[in-house]
Structure 1
């Protein structure tokens, strides 16, 4: 199969195999999440991609995307950016707490490494201001050419994207208290500008001086506040899940980003949208499918559902070329063949049974979600890096707790029982028809079977970082993320065969592995841990979470 098109995995993707036919259930995602945005001197829109650890430039006329700050460069986790008067790009590198200057010639200089959870960043002429996204955070002026930072104010309740207003005050949100504040850039007493603003994540002024406050919630609300008209408000519901930031061009067109689904979208004053760069999946990581054929994916910030891009034109893996699917035009968050079901706290592994969807969180939680009632309850908390999850024959939830090197079960009373411990780095679990539990360990390079007494036996070893697991009949399938292949293992004979190769999982070829650590603070987590999930469908197909390109693949004989 040769599937060509705009792909964040590094251009053309060519998955090879002999027995399986495959198709994408959604379009590849050109942007690996989209956070801070700002127009550069060249007229392009620059996009900070926190999850990818890179910055891309978007041509708003064509939607073309070019990576300008690569993921294997000095910047680890860019969350916001701004341009100075000389054309320098200033970058808020959130997790390590660094602020960078990138010169117009592409040279990097460290401005500061003393700002904790640095996020909001803006330039006022030659002056540079940043704030901290943490309880009790600070707003500071930094000096790129040297000098001690100046703290303008403290006590921010999670700061984020800010901007100088027409009244020469710096405006910034308090995400925890749903407020917008302002302060003179030379210091002074901060004051509240607006209260009871819906989940504010960014403040932006248009060319007419109207304040726009973006909401990070599921509805995609933008609150417009006319500061010259008595503070009158207008609410626009865009339907763009998880808005993050915005920028206005010289013609006063508003372009918005989404931390939850990526992409770049033009948002009209009446709420209409025009896609510039398609939205899609930030991951995906875990994947599952229910008896009705509905696919659920754990996409770090949300639970989402891909839909077949084009039922009539599957793409084969046996050498036949096929189409990528239908066009990506859509007025809702289903663009790119993906629908956001609900925002979730850093979902990673996912499974389903009996109409309920169960998932793990990188916060160490396990939750159960009812898609019909749209309710979610937390089952347990305090686990150490829970990843893959499945439902056992007795109805209990079984979780690969990678950070604790063990596998645990959770019963209907939410009691945690250790099934096996002393493993390497277990990442996924699956049961066979006989009710035996199998676990993949990407550190040991093995798939193990767990006995009733907690002892383990090797089913297959010498594997290349196996992660996702699924069982169909007598065959166990695993995703070897090192060599990027799908391997089938006979549970009766141990015989192995390669089902597909060159899978778009993991980082793009030629890039060094990211070592960005997880960061836990109020409402914030670091970059997702690598996980390429696998699930068996009721029709005998396999579903692969291709986290390298932002798609789900269906593979079937």
Structure 2
């Protein structure tokens, strides 16, 4: 491993602790960050406000922040505990009001310049792409057979259908010709339609995974693609139709905003942050990327650290400047464990996957599981998964299918094995750690815990993260003796914030269930997912 941040690096403002004064405490372990904290919980819709700042919607947690386009200074404008649950896109009206697409809740909000919130509509299914033309408000639905609607904030009438049959719409904009331009993600196409309605017209096809349609200062239509390369496709729709493709190198672009100088401000749902792309091709990070979670964490035999980060699999570089490299875009990546040159992952969409590090190829081992979360390697190198939604612990052999090791649990979150091959599972809602016996019976190993999640065994000790108390505790496997190892851990939402997760929307990548993972590194240190601030913490014995 390369150099990591010194313990003093823990004293810095983060999204978990704006004061920068709180830090983890442990007498037994030296705690250090392996990457810089993430100032944003992902970055999705972006738009310039009347004050000239760039406003960034953070779908993964709920806030909207204003970013100074020069300094990168960030101010939270729509807080975590406000009425907006999961903003995915935003736009500003002529009077300075902010309009917000609250995707899972199916709501569209208006936030006045004075900071008051008004519900514009709850009749839009999966609202996402949103734009204003003067005082007029338009929004589309990110679903198959979706609609493009005009909404009326004054409540004078219900939604008016402008176009329908969309194959998952997203970020849209009025073009120089006065028409509305919008993407259809599933079919890889860009379309346009008059704002008053009419016959939609196909503008461009073969645009990979388009999540946005924007116009640059030269009047070129820019199709925004969401893949690994961060591709932008510039199309001369008012001339000869010629195209040019730019690979920005920003994985998982979600949206972009263009200022008067022609600079593009790119957001990333995969890694957060904001990247500025100049007309001459130069780029810089205005707000640095990092981890949006992380959730599952692991280390391979060489000590390289990997994190499952909901929308991606990342390699944690372990540098003082805080790099995280995106290896692959995934949907709902949650748990991860290393075995040789392979990483086994769980996805909240119900899959267990194996990713080969050399070939950079994922393959599906199992599908149709109900919210699989924590994962560990059991006997014979077979991945074993906590299937949270089904209350089971299952093994997933390479030959296919699953083997149920235990059933009848309430809310299993993670699994771990000791050196004798015994399996342990954390029961978050019951506040317990259970042991799975060879016959499938469950015995209570530890109880009275506050929301135990991540599990790992180190020698003769078992460790778990008590998320309710934000501390790490250990248990002697032989005597059951309990000891608090570290306190004041930045896991979960910031202190004082309570939020209910919106129900998942079928077919749409939802918000992750909070999970503070644990792993053992080859040098005997512990790795912890500090999902409150977007870092991986290394705990080394003093």
TM-score w.r.t. length of structure 1: 0.94
TM-aligned CA deviation for residue 204 of structure 1: 1.1
Quote the Cα distance in structure 2 between the aligned partners of 1:376 and 1:486: 32
In structure 1, the residue matched to 2:509 is 525
Q: 428-437 or 390-399: which moved more?
A: 390-399
Instruction: State the secondary structure of the residue aligned to 2:379.
Output: coil
> 507, 519, 526: which is aligned to 1:542?
526
After superposition, what is the alpha-carbon deviation per residue over 1:138-163, rounded to whole angstroms, capped at 9, x for unaligned? Answer: 00100000112110111111100000
> 146, 152, 163: which is aligned to 1:137?
146
In structure 2, the residue matched to 1:4 is 11
Ranges of 4+ aligned residues in structure 1 off by more than 4 Å: none
Quote the Cα distance in structure 2 between the aligned partners of 1:515 and 1:343: 23
Structure 2: gaps of 5 or more residues:
1-6
Quote the Cα distance in structure 2 between the aligned partners of 1:428 and 1:480: 12
Instruction: State the secondary structure of the residue aligned to 1:403.
Output: helix
- 1:313-392 mapped onto 2 (5 Å cutoff): 325-326=320-321, 336-392=322-378
In structure 2, the residue matched to 1:396 is 382
In structure 2, the residue matched to 1:202 is 212
Instruction: State the secondary structure of the residue aligned to 1:22.
Output: strand
Instruction: State the secondary structure of the residue aligned to 2:228.
Output: coil
Instruction: State the secondary structure of the residue aligned to 2:52.
Output: coil
Is 1:22 matched up with 2:50? no
In structure 1, the residue matched to 2:273 is 263
Is 1:224 matched up with 2:234? yes
> 247, 250, 264: which is aligned to 1:240?
250
Quote the Cα distance in structure 1 between the aligned partners of 2:510 and 2:237: 36
Quote the Cα distance in structure 2 between the aligned partners of 1:519 and 1:18: 44
Quote the Cα distance in structure 2 between the aligned partners of 1:207 and 1:271: 15
TM-aligned CA deviation for residue 19 of structure 1: 1.0
In structure 2, the residue matched to 1:509 is 495
Q: 422-431 or 197-206: which moved more?
A: 197-206
Q: 404-413 or 510-519: which moved more?
A: 510-519
TM-aligned CA deviation for residue 227 of structure 1: 2.4
TM-aligned CA deviation for residue 5 of structure 1: 2.5
In structure 1, the residue matched to 2:401 is 415
Is 1:128 matched up with 2:146? no
Is contact 1:152-1:187 (8 Å) kept?
yes
Is contact 2:262-2:279 (8 Å) kept?
no
In structure 2, the residue matched to 1:436 is 422
Is contact 2:39-2:273 (8 Å) kept?
yes
Instruction: State the secondary structure of the residue aligned to 1:17.
Output: coil
Instruction: State the secondary structure of the residue aligned to 2:516.
Output: coil
TM-aligned CA deviation for residue 426 of structure 1: 0.6
After superposition, what is the alpha-carbon deviation per residue over 1:435-482, rounded to whole angstroms, capped at 9, x for unaligned? Answer: 100011111101111101111111111111010011111011111111
Quote the Cα distance in structure 2 between the aligned partners of 1:108 and 1:22: 42
Is contact 1:218-1:241 (8 Å) kept?
yes
RMSD: 1.1
In structure 2, the residue matched to 1:425 is 411
Structure 1: gaps of 5 or more residues:
310-324, 327-335
Is 1:59 matched up with 2:71? no
> 273, 279, 291: which is aligned to 2:283?
273
After superposition, what is the alpha-carbon deviation per residue over 1:497-518, rounded to whole angstroms, capped at 9, x for unaligned? Answer: 1111000100011111332222
Is contact 1:72-1:514 (8 Å) kept?
no
Q: 270-279 or 250-259: which moved more?
A: 270-279
Is contact 1:346-1:525 (8 Å) kept?
yes
Instruction: State the secondary structure of the residue aligned to 2:72.
Output: coil
> 43, 51, 55: which is aligned to 1:46?
55
Is 1:116 matched up with 2:125? yes
Q: Number of residue pairs matched?
A: 531
> 159, 162, 180: which is aligned to 1:170?
180
Quote the Cα distance in structure 1 between the aligned partners of 2:236 and 2:479: 72
In structure 1, the residue matched to 2:469 is 483
Is contact 1:487-1:499 (8 Å) kept?
yes
Instruction: State the secondary structure of the residue aligned to 1:47.
Output: strand
In structure 1, the residue matched to 2:260 is 250
Quote the Cα distance in structure 1 between the aligned partners of 2:280 and 2:409: 55
TM-score w.r.t. length of structure 2: 0.96
Quote the Cα distance in structure 2 between the aligned partners of 1:540 and 1:454: 30
After superposition, what is the alpha-carbon deviation per residue over 1:238-277, rounded to whole angstroms, capped at 9, x for unaligned? Answer: 1100001111112221111000000011012354311111
Quote the Cα distance in structure 2 between the aligned partners of 1:233 and 1:207: 16
Is contact 1:26-1:552 (8 Å) kept?
yes
Instruction: State the secondary structure of the residue aligned to 1:109.
Output: strand
After superposition, what is the alpha-carbon deviation per residue over 1:369-427, rounded to whole angstroms, capped at 9, x for unaligned? Answer: 11111111111111111100111022221110111111111223122111111112110
TM-aligned CA deviation for residue 213 of structure 1: 1.3
After superposition, what is the alpha-carbon deviation per residue over 1:8-27, rounded to whole angstroms, capped at 9, x for unaligned? Answer: 11222311110101211110
Is contact 2:277-2:284 (8 Å) kept?
yes
Quote the Cα distance in structure 1 between the aligned partners of 2:538 and 2:282: 33
Quote the Cα distance in structure 2 between the aligned partners of 1:307 and 1:25: 7
Quote the Cα distance in structure 2 between the aligned partners of 1:514 and 1:208: 44
Quote the Cα distance in structure 1 between the aligned partners of 2:488 and 2:374: 23
In structure 2, the residue matched to 1:191 is 201
> 90, 94, 108: which is aligned to 1:99?
108
Is 1:457 matched up with 2:443? yes
Quote the Cα distance in structure 1 between the aligned partners of 2:377 and 2:89: 40
Is 1:499 matched up with 2:490? no
Quote the Cα distance in structure 2 between the aligned partners of 1:178 and 1:402: 34
After superposition, what is the alpha-carbon deviation per residue over 1:146-188, rounded to whole angstroms, capped at 9, x for unaligned? Answer: 1121101111111000000000000000111111000010111
In structure 2, the residue matched to 1:298 is 308
